[in-house]
Chain A
């Protein structure tokens, strides 16, 4: 266990379903992130939250809706997804979003399949 917990580990959903991914950390970190990892593509940063406030949205389609109720929890709400959204979704946290010497701690990811 790294300290960042993601649930569920696997998710299969239809294109008309609504589901949510959950991420939780108790490392005392103040920044949380969602990444998308598709096959044969580099990791793509989706969203950044700093002290519960969204500070970055990298042109992510509105069918992905993040929520950060506190510094320890991060959700990714999914609705009307497309098959090309099938990927590994990784959550990460870091002590500070602005310190270059701090790396990120990642969860184990949610492997999402859209059918």
Chain B
């Protein structure tokens, strides 16, 4: 069975600073994908970044980077230079192989 754990229910970050959102996972499948989604108050789930289990390098997408530590089974999201528009709920998810399972989410509030 797959399990995704996000231990930070809520975080505050100052505008222009970086923030790290924690995610650990557990799966017995050797091949899996790790995803981060952003959910603003409007409800839509917005894809941010993807990391494959066999990828050698950490994924980056603009201000988002994924700190992938396979041996520790962690896939932390780093948001650099936070903006007010980054205030939202962030979900870590894993696909292994056919279903996408989500963690409980972390609420990020960016302060001006």
Contact = CB atoms under 8 A, between A and B. Distances in A.
Interface of A: 2, 33, 41-43, 45, 48, 56, 88, 90, 92, 94, 97-109, 111
B32 A100 contact: yes
Nearest to A111: B43
B89 to A, nearest CB: 10
Contacts of A99: 97
Interface in B2-49: 31-33, 35, 37, 42-47
Contacts of A106: 37, 44-47
B47 A98 contact: no
Contact of A104 (B31, B43, B100): B100
A105 B93 CA distance: 13
Interface in B91-106: 91, 93, 95-105
B99 A45 contact: yes
B43 A109 contact: yes
A105 B35 CA distance: 12
Contact of B50 (A43, A94, A101, A105): A101
A2 B96 contact: no
Contacts of A103: 33, 35, 47, 50, 93, 95, 100
Given A98-B98, A100-B96, A101-B50, 20 more contacts: A42-B103, A45-B100, A48-B98, A48-B99, A92-B45, A94-B100, A97-B98, A100-B33, A100-B53, A100-B95, A100-B97, A101-B52, A103-B35, A103-B95, A104-B45, A104-B47, A104-B100, A106-B37, A106-B44, A106-B46
